[in-house]
Amino acid sequence: MAVPATPETITGRVVSVNPKGVKFDGHVDWFNLSQFARNIVPPMRGQHVTLTLDRQGFVRECTAGVTAKTDETPDVDRAYGAPPTAKTDETRGARDRTLTRLAVLKAAAEFAASRPQLKSGEVLKIAASWELWVNRPESAEEAIDAF
């Protein structure tokens, strides 16, 4: 991406997003988030946003605007830029839970890879016990019985 001479703003529809940057519809390049910017909330795919870029071309601010109405965003309030609701928080929680489960399952599979005597059902039991350990309450000091 060409480096702007002065800070600038760019507005567009997000077609792809990851923890490090945003890609707009019609742009070849990604707009990378600045490591010095604080509290940037990455936008959702399909959302129209305005990015403020610093002199090096890194995103310093991300202001959400109107989101394109798609099948992925059937909720009218969310689709048109209303503030996040409990439903959004629930979705985020479900996503976090899924990511945790996948990470624990991967760790259990790697653990079992060097133990050919373990069956796939045992790998799932290991993953389930590790998931309980990861999601344990902060106050829980007792050991979790895995098997």
Are 75 and 90 part of one and the same domain? Answer: no
Q: Are residues 30 and 69 in the same domain?
A: yes
Question: What's residue 13's pLDDT?
Answer: 92
pLDDT band at 125 (very low <50, low <70, confident <90, very high): very high
In this structure, are residues 60 and 34 in contact, taking their beta carbons and an 8 Å threshold?
yes
pLDDT tens per residue across span 66-99: 544 444 444 444 444 444 555 566 677 788 888 8
Tens of pLDDT along 95-114? Answer: 888 888 899 999 999 999 88
Q: Is residue 21 part of a domain?
A: yes
Taking only Cα atoms into account, the Rg of the chain, rounded to an integer number of angstroms, comes to 21
Domain match, 67 and 97 both:
no
Its sign, for the CA torsion 71, 76, 81, 85, is: negative
Encoding tokens for residue 125? 């039991």
Q: Up-side HSE of residue 12: CA atoms within 13 Å toward CB?
A: 18
Phi, psi of 117 (to 5 degrees): -75, -15
Same domain, 97 and 69: no
Q: How many domains does the chain have?
A: 2
The whole model's pTM is what? 0.41
143: pLDDT strictly greater than 80: no
* Structural domain range at position 63: 8-79
Same structural domain, 69 and 107 = no
Does residue 118 sit within a domain? yes
